[in-house]
Structure 1
């Protein structure tokens, strides 16, 4: 997905906890505004994520323990759509 959305700077995590860093496209500068808009877009789609990090630009994805492979496409589709809604992205 990072190849289709230049606002994704990095993806990292451990276990089910995933951090998706949102940056200004073409740079490594944190983009707190877009991160908040994507977070809100995911919430509008029924997925609760937070923002974290020193600059508040990392989407904090911590699915419940009952998260199964069947839910992965739901999360991926919602994230893809929320990112696509961002102007200039």
Structure 2
């Protein structure tokens, strides 16, 4: 059963210059979320940065949760990981 959540678009370019989150395939478990950046980001080893998405979500239903997970190859191939991973 599909449930609705509130999504607030923080950056007016989302949906125009930057795509809204979408399912890549019909069998996808989650949506693909993209960075909302003005310029390219280059990090030196050991550096960290915050990458905006241009979106905020509110989930009022306590039985639901949202997770942001990196693409499977990002950490392995490029050493890019999220700072708030579970575990």
TM surpasses 0.5: no
Tell which structure's C-alpha radius of gyration is larger: 2
| TM-score (norm: length of structure 2) | 0.30
| TM-score (norm: length of structure 1) | 0.29
